[in-house]
A and B are shown apart, each in its own frame.
Chain A
Amino acid sequence: MSKTATEIEQPDAEQDDTALFGFWIFLMSDAVIFALLFATYGTMTQATAGGPTAAAEFKLVPTFIETLLLLTSSATFGRASVAMKYDEPRRVLFFWLFVTLGLGLVFLGFEAKDFADMFADGAYPSRSGFLSAFFALVPLHGLHVVAGCFWLIVMIVQVRVIGLDRRVKLNLLRLGLFWHFLDVVWIAIFSVVYLGGHIA
């Protein structure tokens, strides 16, 4: 018998670091996908084919509110991470996880409203190269947030049912990296797509 059950159940800290490093590799490959969609978008900004333009379609105030929602959700997730790390009462952890989830869902609501308004204006993906590139890039980030919210629900259930064992903690750390990473991607989208679209 080479490994006892406890050794398998309780991998050491070095293995935890390796697991998180593996997740970083996933995040960075995801970053490459986003970067190339940004490059495609950058080359397509003028290709409006006589259709809706960036300045006409992008509303700055709602997207600014979306930015604030995501920034705040990053801070609240950070607060949840601290609650987990320092073994604060379980309800503190749940509170901040639920606040993060709520902010994520409100963000998705705002974004869905933006897209619905664009569709109502005749700005749909097949209208022009510009809009195809836009709808390849921005909703992909939205899909990531949907996945993040689903993952948050799964983690709330895991903490509730399993408790904070090593694996659940590791999963929460991974989700934290994912969530903060999505925030960085959104900053790029807000700056390049939305603010960039309004610079005359």
Chain B
Amino acid sequence: MKNGTERRTELRTYAVGYLLALALTGAAFAAVVWPSFAAGTTLAIVLGLALVQAVVHFRCFLHITMQRASRHDLQLILFSTLIIVMMVGGTMVLLMNLRTRMM
């Protein structure tokens, strides 16, 4: 019987993840197709929604939670995120600066 409850919880996790992902993608799509904000705000909304959706995917589909079982995976992901932020941030700052100076 315990197995049945666990299975149902897991199915519900996937279903919730799927519905949230659809809603977030739909919202981002709508924000661009029917624009109601300034370009900068719309871009921020789209990127914000993408970030939330990435978290939803990691939580519901990739099963990364705060529980001990996935603690190592979580640490690896957070460290990789730090590396990515530094490398992407550095690249953007440098090359955008270069572009402004070349104009």
Contacts and interface: CB of A to CB of B under 8 A. Distances in A.
Interface of A: 20-21, 24-25, 28-29, 31-32, 35-36, 38-40, 42-43, 46, 60, 64, 67-68, 71-72, 74-75, 78-79, 82, 85-86, 177, 180-181, 183-184, 187-188, 190-192, 195-196, 198-200
Contacts of B46: 191, 195-196, 199
Contact of A199 (B17, B42, B49): B42
Contact of B92 (A32, A43, A60): A43
The 3 closest A-B pairs by CB, nearest first: A191-B50, A78-B14, A28-B80
Interface of B: 3, 7, 10-11, 14-15, 17-18, 21-22, 25, 28-29, 31-33, 35, 39, 42-43, 46-47, 49-50, 53-54, 57-58, 61-62, 72-73, 76-77, 80, 83-84, 87-88, 91-92, 95-96, 99
A62 to B, nearest CB: 12
A188 B54 contact: yes
Secondary structure of the A side of the interface? helix
Contacts of B76: 21, 24-25, 28
B57 A184 contact: yes
A74 B54 CA distance: 13
A184 B61 CA distance: 10
Contacts of A192: 47, 50
22 contacts: A20-B73, A25-B76, A35-B87, A39-B88, A42-B92, A43-B95, A75-B17, A78-B14, A82-B7, A82-B11, A85-B7, A85-B10, A177-B62, A180-B57, A184-B54, A184-B57, A187-B54, A190-B50, A191-B49, A191-B50, A196-B43, A199-B42
Contacts of A200: 35, 39
Contacts of A79: 11, 14
B29 A21 contact: no
A199 B3 CA distance: 48
Given A35-B87, A187-B25, A191-B46, A24 B54 contact: no
Given A188-B50, A191-B47, A195-B46, A74 B61 contact: yes
Binding site secondary structure of chain B: helix
A190 B53 CA distance: 12
B94 to A, nearest CB: 9
Contacts of A183: 57, 61
Contact of A35 (B31, B73, B88): B88
A67 B71 CA distance: 30
Nearest to A78: B14
Given A32-B87, A82-B14, A71 B25 contact: yes
Most buried by A among B29, B43, B84, B92: B29
B101 to A, nearest CB: 13
A78 B61 contact: yes
